[in-house]
Amino acid sequence: MPYASEYTPKILIIDSHGQPVRWALMQRAARYYAAGKVLTELGDNIFGMTGGVQEATGARSELVTSSILMIRGRHRIPLGRGHVGLTKHRLFVRDRHVCAYCGGHFVESELTVEHILPVSRGGRHEWTNVVTACRSCNTRKGSRRPEEANMPLIYVPYAVCRSEGFILSNRRILADQMAFLQATLPRHSRWAHG
Ligand SMILES: [Zn+2]
């Protein structure tokens, strides 16, 4: 029986080389099935969706889709498109909601985007110059460098790769989808080992 859920699940679409392509809503997954593009169903979960009424029979069509679909073809990522945009939410998730200075774990509303080299001193707004910091650490550090403030970083910032971007962009990832994406991550990723 398809899993009935109260929220709209997103289906992880991967190409025939195992590269993640996109998160798709059920309707889009239905189009892949209809177009004969689905090669394999790789997910542990299946979802059901009721479609429109079929004219010939008067019956409602039903689609059942796997949580991970491998589709035909290789989806080349245009140069420059592999870059994952830096947003507050993605940064906090990259850093697992842990303040880079005190090591405390906080909810999103208590966290700030902290520029290691302050923007006022030429620091850039990019993945390798930002970490997650709690409000009080951010205020205490002010516009100093970590070494000037005697506040060493307890973890190193890094640029987020494409596969990790998929993890940071979906708040409701299923366990099988997470395991699939984790297997494609570089070792330095904080998400590589769960
Ligand atoms: Zn802190």
Reduce the DSSP state of residue 29 to 3 states and report it: helix
Q: What's the rounded Cα separation, in Å, for the pair 75 and 96? A: 30
Q: Using one digit for the tens of pLDDT, what is the confidence trace for 104-121?
A: 999 999 999 999 999 999
Q: Measure 94 CA to ligand 1 centroid, in angstroms.
A: 16
Ligand 1 centroid – CA 129 distance (Å): 17
Instruction: Give tens-digit pLDDT for 3-57.
Output: 444 567 899 999 998 889 999 998 899 899 999 999 999 999 888 877 666 677 7
Distance of CA 98 from the midpoint of ligand 1 (Å): 8
CA of 111 to the centre of ligand 1 (A): 9
pLDDT tens-digit readout, 49-59: 776 666 777 77
Distance CA 135, CA 65 (A): 43
- Centroid of ligand 1 to alpha carbon of 141 (angstroms): 10
Query: Could you tell me the pLDDT band of residue 145, with boundaries at 50, 70 and 90?
Result: very high
> 187: CA distance to ligand 1 center in Å?
26
**Which residues of the chain does CATH 1.10.30.50 include?**
88-141
Q: How do beta strands 11-14 and 68-71 pair?
A: parallel
Distance from the alpha carbon of residue 84 to the mean position of ligand 1, in angstroms: 25
CB 113, CB 134: distance < 8 Å? no
Over residues 141-167, the mean pLDDT reads 92
Pairwise CA distance, residues 133 & 114, whole Å: 6
Cα of 92 vs centre of ligand 1, distance in Å, is: 13
| Å from CA of 149 to ligand 1 middle | 13
Q: Is the dihedral of CA 115, 118, 124, 128 positive or negative?
A: negative
Task: Give pLDDT, residue 97.
Answer: 96
What pLDDT sits at residue 163? Answer: 84
pLDDT of residue 139: 96
Output the CA 80–ligand 1 centroid distance in Å. 34
Residue 79: pLDDT band by 50, 70, 90 thresholds?
low
Going by DSSP bridges, is the β-strand pair 46-53/60-66 parallel, antiparallel, or unpaired?
antiparallel
d(CA 132, CA 123): 15
Give the global pTM.
Answer: 0.76
Domain at 88-141: CATH code = 1.10.30.50
pLDDT of residue 10: 92
- Span from the CA of 167 to the centroid of ligand 1 (angstroms): 24
